[in-house]
Structure 1
Amino acid sequence: MADGAASRRSRFTPEREAVLYAAVFDLLCEVGYDSLTMDAVATRTRTSKATLYRQWGGKAELVVGALRHAKPGSVAGVDTGSLRSDLYGLLLNEDDSAREQRSALMRGLAVATHRFPDLGQAFRELIVDPEMDDFRRVLRRAVDRGEVSADNPALDYVAHMLIGAFAACVLVYDQPPTHAFLHSYLDAVVLPVLGV
């Protein structure tokens, strides 16, 4: 799916694609995934519905494309030379207000991925799987630099710890984690268990 979606999207200029993704992101925030329609996207962006389907294949791929575009940075783009700085760069790359808005949207989409299998599949293929591959490379670089022992059993659970921090804040405090929380969580939990 990912290769086909990428080749279909190539007909839009990067500027036009950015405008379209911004409109999709705005609609998601306004009405949620369930109520977002290709008709609404077409109207808001002055694009034909047929063009949207031809370029993205469906609502799920278009929404996930918008999420990827709105994401405040890429795991692949972080390589500071130390695992500590890489993790800070990954987790502290947006302000608390933007993180709060994104967190609310992601909670709604997480529920939608269970109700709409095509959204779940697109989300895994276009966001989760590539990001996990990139995240493993970040950890591999730390092992190669000698910062983390290759046989450290926590290496397989770093992503789980980080996702858990976000989920726990929402469940316990009813808000996404702040910069201060994430910074202290990295220093108190993640980095020590890795021996950094």
Structure 2
Amino acid sequence: MVPPTHPRTTTRPSPRQSRISPEREAQMYAAVIDMLRETGYDALSMEAIATRVRWSKATLYRRFSGKQELVAMALRHQSPLRTDTYDTGSLAGDLHAMVDARSDQRLHADAALLRGVFRALHTDEELGDALRAVDHDELGALVSRAVRRGELAEHHPAIPHLPHLFVSALVAHPLIEGGPANRDFLHRYVDAVILSALGTEAPPHEA
């Protein structure tokens, strides 16, 4: 969930090139996220992950250089900013659908997970490298649809900053308001901040 800067080059096959089924891959990423929530990043190990998902360590290491890359891919796969399943017919509708797709409880858990990852970044430089090497264009499908519909200019200067806006809302809310962000807050945030930044007004029925 950190915007890419200078992706690393690697000769190892990507997870998408693996023979592991998409279903098993998704289950593995979900298990990694669960373990991050349960034990934190520092206590996480490739051996523990292999045991949890019932894979051999050799299989994990054939696909990932270490826990840093595996965690980065799991965060990418489980990102709250993924919008490829939403198509309501409007930019505002898609953004609000993204908020509605997660319960308040899940939003609270996402925020706690992000704070834990940010703490780990201070002590593990390889984790930062892995996060920056992963494609984090979670909002790409949503933006592309808005451009095709004529709602958004293709090169609008705010587009690259959309992930920053969403992540900062989740992380900063507890510091400012004393508690985690919920869906009601995020709906208002979409209308007042995200859509305004993109030069698009929220329709009256969504305000």
What TM-score comes out, normalization by structure 2 length? 0.75
Distance 1:35 1:188, change over 3 A: same
Alignment deviations for residues 106-135 of structure 1 (CA, whole Å, 9 cap, x no partner): 11112212322221122222253x336x1x
Contact residue 2 and residue 125 of structure 1 kept, 8 A: no
Q: Which amino acid counterpart does residue 30 of structure 1 have in structure 2? A: E
Unaligned stretches of 5+ in structure 1?
A: none
Kindly state the Cα deviation for residue 103 of structure 1 after the two structures are TM-superposed.
1.2
| 1:182 counterpart residue number | 186
User: Which region of structure 1 is more displaced relative to structure 2, 171-180 or 67-76?
Assistant: 67-76
Kindly state the Cα deviation for residue 33 of structure 1 after the two structures are TM-superposed.
1.0
Unaligned stretches of 5+ in structure 2?
A: 1-8, 202-207
| 2:61 counterpart residue number | 53
Alignment deviations for residues 74-117 of structure 1 (CA, whole Å, 9 cap, x no partner): 23443332111121123332111011112111111122123222
The number of residue pairs the alignment matches comes to 192
Secondary structure (helix, strand or coil) at the match of 1:147 reads coil
Q: Which amino acid counterpart does residue 94 of structure 2 have in structure 1? A: D
Q: Which amino acid counterpart does residue 55 of structure 2 have in structure 1? A: T
Distance 1:16 1:86, change over 3 A: closer
Contact residue 9 and residue 56 of structure 1 kept, 8 A: no
Structure 2 CA distance for aligned equivalents of residues 156 and 70 of structure 1: 20
Choose the corresponding residue for 1:89, options 87, 93, 97: 97
| 1:192 counterpart residue number | 196
Summarize the alignment of residues 9-48 of structure 1 with structure 2, pairs less than 5 Å apart. Answer: 10-48=18-56
Summarize the alignment of residues 89-128 of structure 1 with structure 2, pairs less than 5 Å apart. Answer: 89-128=97-136
Structure 2 CA distance for aligned equivalents of residues 76 and 3 of structure 1: 28
Structure 1 CA distance for aligned equivalents of residues 57 and 155 of structure 2: 52
Which structure has more relative contact order (CA 8 Å, sep 6+)? It is 2
Contact residue 91 and residue 151 of structure 2 kept, 8 A: yes
What TM-score comes out, normalization by structure 1 length? 0.79
Distance 1:63 1:182, change over 3 A: same
Alignment deviations for residues 119-167 of structure 1 (CA, whole Å, 9 cap, x no partner): 1122222253x336x1xx6345434534346786555544443333223
Structure 1 CA distance for aligned equivalents of residues 145 and 30 of structure 2: 34
C-alpha RMSD of matched pairs (Å): 2.9
Structure 1 CA distance for aligned equivalents of residues 180 and 145 of structure 2: 29
